[in-house]
Structure 1
Amino acid sequence: MLPPTITDEDDGADSTVEVVSDSLEKPYEGSSSIGRCDGDYFAWKSRRKSTDAPDGGGRLMGNLTDRLSASGLGRALFGSVLAFMAFDNFRDLEGSIGYADSKGVPEPETLVPFSSGMLLFGGLGIALGRFKRLAPGAVVSWFVAVTPQMHDFWNMEDDQREGQQIHFLKNLIILGGAFYFLANENED
Structure 2
Amino acid sequence: MDVLVLIGRILFSVLFLTSAAGHLTQSNAMAQYAESKGLPVPQLSVLVSGVVLLLGALSVLLGVWADLGSLLLVAFLVPTAVLMHNFWSESDAQAKQTEMIQFNKDIALAGAALMLFAFFAHTGDLGLTITGPLFSIS
TM-score bin (small chain): 0.7 to 0.9
- In structure 2, the residue matched to 1:107 is 41
1:79 to partner: Cα distance: 1.3
1:133 to partner: Cα distance: 2.7
- In structure 2, the residue matched to 1:155 is 89
Partner SS, residue 106 of structure 1: coil
- How many aligned positions are there? 122
Select 1:136's aligned residue among 70, 75, 78. 70
- In structure 2, the residue matched to 1:178 is 113
1:97 to partner: Cα distance: 0.5
TM-score, structure 2 length as denominator? 0.82
Higher relative helix content: 2
Structure 2 residue runs without a partner (length 5+): 122-132
Work out the CA distance in 1 between the residues paired with 2:15 and 2:63.
15
Matches within 5 A, 1:8-157: 66=2, 69-157=3-91
Name the structure, 1 or 2, with higher relative contact order (CA <8 Å, separation 6+): 2
1:73 alignment partner AA: I
Work out the CA distance in 2 between the residues paired with 1:73 and 1:88.
23
Work out the CA distance in 2 between the residues paired with 1:146 and 1:163.
15
RMSD: 1.4
1:135 to partner: Cα distance: 0.8
CA deviation string 1:118-145 (max 9, x = no partner): 0111011111111223211111100121
Work out the CA distance in 2 between the residues paired with 1:145 and 1:128.
25
2:29 alignment partner AA: G
Higher relative strand content: 1
* Seq. identity, %: 28
Structure 1 residue runs without a partner (length 5+): 1-53, 55-65
